[in-house]
């Protein structure tokens, strides 16, 4: 099984894998049945990402029309600091379908994403790990940051 760049034809399968992440890996209950419009919104978001030069998805085919895994990567732009540059990466949406877990697909997907990020000038990469994936990401050099000076915060807009 080989990693390849996703295309518009892969969008329905990426939505399926994202639903798998949401319903089986998140540390809280995600009720997709309460959001019947979510698959269409997810497909639109993925399509938009695929059309943007600063985002990509990598996938591995199980068979034609069915994916065994996926991952996304995007470049974010910031004002450079004295010791860091302007380009950083955010990696997300990593999922290996259940029958293929433990076979190295996640490792291959992550390596493709990190290579793409480096090729696009990123000097660091961050991600939000589900609890069960922390050790997988540590193997790639990601570390947990409990940064009291810059706590992670968000607001829904």
Tokens at 14, concatenated: 């990426």
Do 111 and 7 form a contact (C-beta atoms < 8 A)? no
Residue at token pair 């493709």? 112
Phi, then psi, of 98 in degrees rounded to 5: -50, -45
Nearest-10 crossing angle of helices 11-24, 38-51: 120
Straight-line distance from the first to the last Cα atom of the chain, in angstroms, rounded to the nearest whole number: 39
Q: Which residue has the higher pLDDT, 38 or 131?
A: 38
| 3-class DSSP assignment, residue 63 | strand
* Mean pLDDT rounded to a whole number for the chain: 91
Q: Nearest-5° angle of CA 100, CA 103, CA 107? A: 105
Mean pLDDT, rounded, for 46-58: 97
Predicted model pTM: 0.90
Q: What is 91-153 written as a DSSP string?
A: EEEEEE-GGGTTSSHHHHHHHHHHHHHHHTT-S-EEE---GGGHHHHHTTT------SSS---
Domain ranges (residues) in the chain: 3-138
| β partners of residue 125 | 89
Lowest-confidence region among 59-68, 81-90, 142-151: 142-151
CATH fourth-level superfamily of 3-138:
Gcn5-related N-acetyltransferase (GNAT) (3.40.630.30)
Residue 15 pLDDT class (50, 70, 90 cuts): very high
Residue 119 pLDDT class (50, 70, 90 cuts): very high
* Closest C-alpha to 105, from 115, 116, 97, 114: 97
- Percent pLDDT > 70 in the chain is 93
**Tens-digit pLDDT profile for residues 108-118:** 999 999 999 99
| β partners of residue 57 | 72
């Amino acid at each position: 099984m080989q990693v390849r760049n996703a295309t518009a034809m892969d969008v329905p399968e990426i939505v399926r894998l994202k639903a798998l992440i949401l319903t089986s890996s998140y540390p809280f209950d995600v009720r997709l049945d309460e959001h019947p419009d979510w698959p269409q919104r997810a497909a639109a978001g993925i399509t938009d990402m695929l059309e943007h030069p600063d985002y990509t998805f990598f996938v591995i085919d199980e068979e034609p029309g069915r994916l065994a895994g996926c991952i996304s990567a995007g470049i974010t732009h910031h004002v450079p600091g004295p010791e860091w540059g302007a380009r950083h990466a955010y990696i997300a949406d990593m999922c290996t379908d259940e029958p293929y877990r433990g076979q190295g697909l996640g490792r291959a997907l992550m390596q493709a994403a990190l290579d793409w990020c480096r090729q696009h000038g990123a000097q660091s990469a961050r991600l939000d790990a589900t609890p069960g994936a922390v050790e997988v990401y540590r193997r790639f050099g990601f570390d947990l940051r409990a940064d009291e000076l810059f706590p992670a915060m968000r607001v829904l807009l």
